[in-house]
Structure 1
Amino acid sequence: MKKLIPLLSIFIIIAIVIVIFISMSEQKKMVVIHTGNYDKKPIDIELHHFQDSQCGMTIESKINSVQVVAPDGRTWFFDDMGCMSKWYEHIKFKNEAVIWVYATDTKKYIDGRKAWYTRVANTPMHYGFGAYEKKQDGFIDFNQVILHMIRGENLTNPYIKQKLLGNK
């Protein structure tokens, strides 16, 4: 019986944490997918109210945020281009998707397929792909971002981080 008490205590604590997270989520009424975006324009997101569709994190800044609009008007939200890339790899409407990224240089949503990306930005999930409207030396295009993510070549990989950032 004494061995069951610690195990039971752990299960009770886990259950309490789960109940707290569920109640917080319902109170905030987090938005993961927005429907009815038939114009396929970027949604004016409310910070701390929209949730990343891949990792589940709350979007706390427009910088580095991404929105993907499906042909049927559903819109998904992401706090990091890396999260969007992981999700994007599994969708069936890749060619028809409208992708909006928030550009660091112009502070507005731009076409994600036409954006330029740095590989060393400080992004929420630490993948490193920050979007820009104007190309700079060393920037890569959308297809290269997707390829680097598929290969695991982003700042979450210690080898790549060392290669791109040196001893920082």
Structure 2
Amino acid sequence: MKKYNYLILLLLVFFSMGCEVKVDTTAKEIKWDREICQRCKMIISNRNYAVQIINPTNGERFYFDDIGCMVVWFKEEKLNWENEAIIYISDATTGEWLNAKEAYWVYGAITPMAFGFSAYKFEVEGKTNHKFSYVKEKILGSL
């Protein structure tokens, strides 16, 4: 009888390994003028500053109209997956989705919620280019 119990247990382990769910972490197109910012509840219509984040454990997506809304939202919600979050930001010039943690950030833009940071795929000549950690620090310091 014990042999059958071990066999059943072994089969359950193999089946559970085959059922692993893959989380889609690719950037998706936002439904412009329909999607709502998770924090401020404004409609997302400006394609130059939109943000989308993905919870890597369950694939849940959240959208924001400004990087500042996303940074403040994480602080307000006290979510334990912030460091693992997959964050995409629109390139302020091309609208291409960029990894926000690898983008070049410039201050001085007129953004939807007036946080002033815009992201770019390449360094912007003649401007001070910042890292994502600087952007978060400045936004949180302005509260």
Give the shorter-chain TM-score range.
0.7 to 0.9
Secondary structure at the aligned position of 1:99 is classed as: strand
Larger Rg belongs to: 2
Secondary structure at the aligned position of 1:48 is classed as: coil
Kindly indicate whether the alpha-carbon contact (under 8 Å) linking 1:105 and 1:134 is maintained by their aligned counterparts in 2.
Answer: no
Identity of counterpart residues, as a percentage? 27
How many residues of Structure 1 are paired with residues of Structure 2 in the alignment? 118
Secondary structure at the aligned position of 1:150 is classed as: helix
Q: Is 1:103 aligned with 2:91? A: yes
Q: Is 1:57 aligned with 2:45? A: no
Q: Letter of the aligned partner of 2:92 in structure 1? A: T
What's the CA shift string for 1:30-57, capped at 9, x where partnerless?
A: xxxxxxx921111211111100001111
Query: Which structure ranks higher in relative contact order (CA pairs < 8 Å, sequence separation ≥ 6)?
Result: 2
Kindly indicate whether the alpha-carbon contact (under 8 Å) linking 1:65 and 1:81 is maintained by their aligned counterparts in 2.
Answer: yes
Q: Using the alignment, how far apart are the partners of 1:149 and 1:95 within structure 2?
A: 16
Secondary structure at the aligned position of 1:110 is classed as: strand
Q: Is 1:143 aligned with 2:133? A: yes
Q: Which sections of structure 2, spanning at least 5 residues, go unmatched?
A: 1-21
- TM-score, length-normalised on structure 2? 0.77
Q: Using the alignment, how far apart are the partners of 1:63 and 1:118 within structure 2?
A: 13
- TM-score, length-normalised on structure 1? 0.66
Q: Is 1:81 aligned with 2:67? A: yes
Q: Using the alignment, how far apart are the partners of 2:24 and 2:106 within structure 1?
A: 29
Secondary structure at the aligned position of 2:71 is classed as: helix
What's the CA shift string for 1:6-32, capped at 9, x where partnerless?
A: xxxxxxxxxxxxxxxxxxxxxxxxxxx
Secondary structure at the aligned position of 1:88 is classed as: helix
Aligned CA-pair RMSD: 1.8
Secondary structure at the aligned position of 2:105 is classed as: strand
What's the CA shift string for 1:77-112, capped at 9, x where partnerless?
A: 000011111112332102211000000133200100
Kindly indicate whether the alpha-carbon contact (under 8 Å) linking 1:68 and 1:98 is maintained by their aligned counterparts in 2.
Answer: yes
